[in-house]
Structures are given as C-alpha cells and as structure tokens.
Structure 1
Amino acid sequence: MNFFSKETKTALQAKEAALQLAFAPVAFQATRALRNLGILKIISDAGRAGISLEDIVAQLTLSKYAVRVLLEAGLGIELLLVNDKKYTLSKMGYFIEYDELTRINMDFTQDICYRGMDHLEEALITGKPAGLRELGPWETIYPGLSLLPPDIGKSWFDFDHYYSDIAYPQVLPVVFASKPRQLLELGGNTGKWALACTGYDPDVQVTILDLPGQMGIATQKIKAAGLEHRVSFFTTDVLNENLPFPDGKFDAIWMSQFLDCFSEAQIIAILQRCMASLADGGRIYILEPFWDRQVFKSAAYCLQQTSLYFTAMANGNSQMYHSDDLIACITAAGLTVISQNDQMGMSYTLLQCVIK
C-alpha cells in the first residue's frame, strides 16, 4: 500500500477538497436527510427520465422549500444530477441509498460518534473518552453497550459485526486445522463466533470471556441454540490484572477486532495473561483490520477515522492499528507471529501466534 506517500491533488483540487471538508458536517446531515426522508428513493424510482422538484414534493409531506434546499445541497455534494430541471441519482447517490456498508458506516457515525466528536480535542488532551458523556455515564463505552437504546445499540453492533463476520468462512478452516478441543474467545459480544465454531466442529468446547454486562446477548443466543453444554462463560475485566483468566488448558485463543480496543501497554498485558491460559502447543489467533494493509484507499481512510471513535467515544487510548505497531506489542508480550494472512474477508489480517 502506497496511498499516503505523495501528493495527488493540484493546488486547485486541494483547495476544493479543503472547502468541502469545511462544510463536511453539514453535507453529512443533508445526505442523511435526503436518504431518511425518502427523497433519494423517489428520485431512484423515477429512473433515467428523472423527476422534477414539483413531482418530488407531491410525494412527500415536506414543503417545497425543504425539498428544494436539500436537492440543491445534494447537487453540490454530488449525490444528484439535474438536466432540464429533472433530477437523477449520481453513482454516489446510488451508493448512499443502496449500499449496505455505506449505510452501516453512516448510522454508526450518526448514532455513536457525531455528538461526541465535538469533544475530540478534549479527549486527545486528557487521554479520556470525553465524548462518551453524550451516550452515557461510563468510563469506557463497553459496560454501556447493553444499556444503549435499541436503535443506537443496533448501529454499534451492526458496525462491529459487519466487517469481521464476513471473514468467518475463510478463518474457520485455518483455526480448526490443528483440531483445537478447547477454545477461549476474548470479547464474545453476541456469541456469533462461538456459534460459528460449534457449527463448524462438533467436538470443540468454547469459553467466552467478557465483561458481565456483555454476556447477556451471547447467553441468550447460546441458550436459544441449545448449546449450553458446549459453550461456557467466564466473566472478568481484562484490564484488572488482579482478576485471573481461565486456567491454562486452551488449545486456541481467539480475538476478533478485540485488541484494537486497548492501548499498546494494555495489549501487551492482555497477551501475557493469555499465554498463561494456553495449553502446550496452543496458538493465539488475532483477526484485525490493519489500515496499512488495505487494498483500497477508502478502506484505509475508514479505519483511520474509526481510530478517532476510540479516542473520543470508546476509551481514549486505542485505535485501528498499523500492523507494525500491533506486531511490536505481540513480540513484546513474548509471542512469535508464525503466520500472517491478509486476505480474510474485507482485507482483514489473521495472525497466528505461539509462545517464543
């Protein structure tokens, strides 16, 4: 990846981009309004022939003024095209309306990040998630996830799972190539990985380690699947080094998009405690999206901006890491990376690690 090593814009293009960025929060909300109020869908349904302002207004309960200012903003944002006073969707407008990935990212930005980002500078100065007060009275976001209003919680979980879940079909054969009988998952969330494992291998026993407040959804999912005899739960706070991990018996330890929730010092401490829970010959599997290993520049961009969610909203001290930085933590903990695969799901990397 060599996206960030040289200038790609002329001076005029750079100034245009700077001006667009200056109005980016306004453009974001205008885009959401065009989508949520149904205007993009109406224009899409009109097809190539397009549709006039008056005909759009006739299908809505909005005033002509409201529709007009949104349409004109949509032209500037490049969501729309207009010819002979008939509006059609641009390619970007199409993706805003129909692309699931774009919708998930926008909903996450709005529901989880938008208000809190006003406190980003404070978070950077203090090392605390200063924007989290916009969601609830927690020191980090994780104890509060199960307490968020359903629609806001859905935006968080949709964002969290969309990327990593796609990688599961490719990851499972790698993890189970060594036939692990006991697998420990750090950060079980809604239990999707545990269910995938038990579905893939009829003999594996899975233990989910997570915060008490995070276990509720996973417990319900496991019970509904009738898998209580194969999936167990271990509640603890991984940041409290006085609280033990399960005893050393696990053939595999799994972490999917988990270590990016912690600072480098915390990652090292967590990995060292994981080592004590490994059986002889056991392996630690780490699935992460590294921004420096992305195929597309837009993917790297999304990950870089997601880092600021961790800064302002999640915990104040973690990020979506450059691969060199996370691998340095793995090495410092006393582990060796024996395999790296960058082709998992949407440009995820799977690291296999063993004790040195």
Structure 2
Amino acid sequence: MNHFSKDTRTAVEAKEEAQRIAFGPVMFQAAQAMRKNGLLMILRNAGKAGITVEDAAEKAGLSVYGARVLLEAGLGMGVCIINEEKYTLTKTGFFLLADPLTAVNMDFIDDVCYDGLASLEESVATGKPVGLKVFGEWPTIYEGLSKLPENIQRSWFAFDHYYSDGSFPLVRKHVFDLGVRKMIDIGGNTGKWAISAVTNNPDLHITMMDLPGQLAVAQKKIADLGLGERINFHPVNILDEKEQFPKGHDAIWMSQFLDCFSEEEITSILRRCYDALDETGYLLIMENFWDCQKFAAAAFTLQMTSLYFTALANGNSQLYHSEVFKKCVYAAGFKIENQIDHIGEAGHTLLICRKN
C-alpha cells in the first residue's frame, strides 16, 4: 500500500502524532468512559445547540469537575468541539457512539486486550503470550476461551463474529459455484460458517473440526436449529501433527483461522490439508490481509490486532501480509487459482487453492 511507503508528515505534524501515541492509552480510557457514562449520548441529544458542562454533568449524574475533565479531553481527541461555552459532538464522537465496527473494536480492546498488552514487550522477546496470565494459565487463549468470564467471552466473540458475519453472505456464492457437496470446516468455532452454509445450500454437508470446548458450544446451537444431520463434529487439537484430517471431502474451508498460527504451524496444517484432499479438491481460505485493504484505516486496524495475537492469543501469529501467508500455501504444495479481495466491510480475501 502506498500509504506505508512514504513519510509525508511535516516535522510539526510528526511531533503532534508522537504525542497522540504517547497519550494513546489515556485517550482510549477517556473515550470509553464517555461512552459508558452517557456523555457522548448527551452531546448527541443536544444537537447543534450544544450543551454546557453544568447541564451535561447533571444529565450524566457526574460532578461538574468529572464532566469538565472528560469534555476537555474530548476536545483534544476531536470527539467534541466548543463554541460559546457549549459542547457539541463531532463526526468522530458520533462514530465512537454509534458505529458498530468501532463499538466491537473498543470493547474488544477494553475487555480482552488492555491489561494483557502491558506484557507486549516480554511477549515479543519470548514468543509467548505473556499477557494471557491476566486471565489464566493456559498456553494459548483458545484453550481457555470457554472458561473466560462471560463479559470477556462476549466481547471476544462479538469482535470475531463482526469481522466474519458480514462477509459470509458475500462469499457463499463463490464457494457454492465450485459445486462443493462435502466440506471440512477447520476452526469452525461456534458454527457461524457451517450454519450459514448449510442453511443456504440444501446439498451441502459439513464436518466441523476444532477444540472440544469450542465444538461443544457449536454442537448445542446446531442441535437447537435442527441441523445436526448435516453438520458433524470432529474434536481435535489442530496443532498435534499426529492428527490427520479425514478424507473424502470436496473442500476444506478455513475462515479467520490460520492467522491464529505461526508460519511454520500454518504450513504444517496446510500439508495435512493437502494429504486429506484428492486431486480435484479445493482448499478455501478466507483471511484479512493488511496489504489487501482499500483504506489505510482498515490496514491499521489489522496491524494493531496482530499485537493481540502476540501478547494474549499465542505469542507467534498475526494478521499477515498476503505475500508472507502465500509462501505457506505454496510450501504445502498448493497453487492459488483465484484471489478475491475486498469482501465485505471487514475487507476479507478469499483464496481458492488446488493441489499443484
């Protein structure tokens, strides 16, 4: 992306940006406080007329001091503006308040990532998710996901699902056009893709593969929906190289899954996919690649999310540059027949692969 190939800021702009980075955690906490205590909504309801500190404090149930320090911080953040001692909401403030993408990102960082990211430096040095200790003693977050507090799980799944739910309806046609009838869904999580796929294709059968804890959640949901005859379950630790994948399927599907692993682990998983597929089978990978985004802000979001993987998830994976990822695909013996970019708001890429 050209955005990342040139340093276009003046010295003054660069120094200003450096200060915003230095105070980034403070800005985040201030914005989150204004979301939760109602100040952003009060500003929105005040409309163009604006509202004084005193009236905002009364409506929010805050002291004048509390409202004042947050509103003044909001000025610096660009969340609000002030004219004749009355504050009004800006476009940035509106998106913090009402944009679903911003909401899931904010809650994910607050509930899942914030405390653990304090261990980022150690995680980078050791290649281990040291920040995960704030939740428990697991080697990766995936083993502990079903045991996390309910609010943490809620924010984690909301984040994960938001980035996939909007893309699934758009990508189904590309998959169904391949004529697939039996599919393995590796890393199927709570069954979002499997349910979406079989509900919209009466000829499709899916075998979900994931850790037992995740599959237990999916199995209950799928049984409640009456889809148990068309979705099967294969509990497995994908990282165990002795675990071979079942054969006899037309395709293997992985969505937002391989970014959970290092390059070496991705290659190992893909080699086992290669062994499980026959010569006419398809390997279908849907991922977010930061270099394949239309907008710099989308790439930025993915680059920052990579540090969640470093500090909390597993210590050795990320949301990849597409060329780094493709090397793993080629190393496993596959070729990429088609690459479809810019799928949905989340900017997914679908790689349609066959044996070389």
Give TM-score, length-normalised by structure 1. 0.98
Please give the secondary structure, in 2, of the residue aligned with 1:317. coil
1:301-312 alignment to 2 at 5 Å?
301-312=300-311
8 Å contact from structure 1 (residues 338, 354) kept in 2: yes
Q: Decide which moves more: 213-222 or 286-295.
A: 213-222
**1:93-117 per-position Cα deviation (integer Å, ceiling 9, x unaligned):** 1110111100110110111110011
8 Å contact from structure 1 (residues 211, 235) kept in 2: yes
**1:56-101 per-position Cα deviation (integer Å, ceiling 9, x unaligned):** 1221322111111111111111101010111100111111011110
Q: Which amino acid aligns with 2:250?
A: D
Counterpart residue number, 1:179: 179
Counterpart residue number, 2:10: 10
Counterpart residue number, 2:330: 331
Cα distance in 2, alignment partners of residues 58 and 332 from structure 1:
63
1:198-217 alignment to 2 at 5 Å?
198-217=198-217
Does structure 1 residue 270 correspond to structure 2 residue 269?
yes
1:127-142 alignment to 2 at 5 Å?
127-142=127-142
Does structure 1 residue 64 correspond to structure 2 residue 64?
yes
CA shift for structure 1 position 183: 0.5
8 Å contact from structure 1 (residues 132, 312) kept in 2: yes
CA shift for structure 1 position 280: 3.7
The percentage of counterpart residues that share the same residue type is 52
8 Å contact from structure 1 (residues 170, 345) kept in 2: yes
Cα distance in 1, alignment partners of residues 229 and 60 from structure 2:
54
Cα distance in 1, alignment partners of residues 322 and 149 from structure 2:
34
Counterpart residue number, 1:229: 229
8 Å contact from structure 2 (residues 279, 355) kept in 1: no
8 Å contact from structure 1 (residues 112, 135) kept in 2: no
**1:25-63 per-position Cα deviation (integer Å, ceiling 9, x unaligned):** 011101100111000101110110001111112213221
Give TM-score, length-normalised by structure 2. 0.98
Counterpart residue number, 1:256: 255
1:285-296 alignment to 2 at 5 Å?
285-296=284-295
Cα distance in 1, alignment partners of residues 111 and 125 from structure 2:
24
Cα distance in 2, alignment partners of residues 109 and 37 from structure 1:
18
Cα distance in 1, alignment partners of residues 105 and 115 from structure 2:
15
8 Å contact from structure 1 (residues 183, 207) kept in 2: yes
**1:267-290 per-position Cα deviation (integer Å, ceiling 9, x unaligned):** 000001111221340101000111
CA shift for structure 1 position 335: 0.6
Cα distance in 2, alignment partners of residues 178 and 79 from structure 1:
47
Cα distance in 2, alignment partners of residues 122 and 150 from structure 1:
27
CA shift for structure 1 position 348: 1.1
Cα distance in 2, alignment partners of residues 30 and 201 from structure 1:
46
Counterpart residue number, 1:100: 100
Please give the secondary structure, in 2, of the residue aligned with 1:75. helix
CA shift for structure 1 position 220: 1.4
Please give the secondary structure, in 2, of the residue aligned with 1:59. helix
Counterpart residue number, 1:21: 21
Cα distance in 2, alignment partners of residues 60 and 269 from structure 1:
54
CA shift for structure 1 position 15: 0.3
Q: Which runs of 5+ in 1 are unaligned?
A: none
CA shift for structure 1 position 345: 1.4
- Cα RMSD for the two superposed structures: 0.9
Q: Which amino acid aligns with 2:46?
A: A
Q: Which runs of 5+ in 2 are unaligned?
A: none
Does structure 1 residue 42 correspond to structure 2 residue 33?
no
Cα distance in 2, alignment partners of residues 217 and 12 from structure 1:
52
8 Å contact from structure 2 (residues 80, 90) kept in 1: yes
Q: How many residues align?
A: 355
Cα distance in 2, alignment partners of residues 223 and 311 from structure 1:
35
CA shift for structure 1 position 178: 2.2
1:66-145 alignment to 2 at 5 Å?
66-145=66-145
8 Å contact from structure 2 (residues 292, 342) kept in 1: no
**1:208-266 per-position Cα deviation (integer Å, ceiling 9, x unaligned):** 000011112211110011011110000000101122322x1110110001110000000
- After the TM superposition, which segments of 4 or more aligned residues of structure 1 sit over 4 Å from their partners? none
Q: Decide which moves more: 90-99 or 57-66.
A: 57-66
Does structure 1 residue 164 correspond to structure 2 residue 157?
no
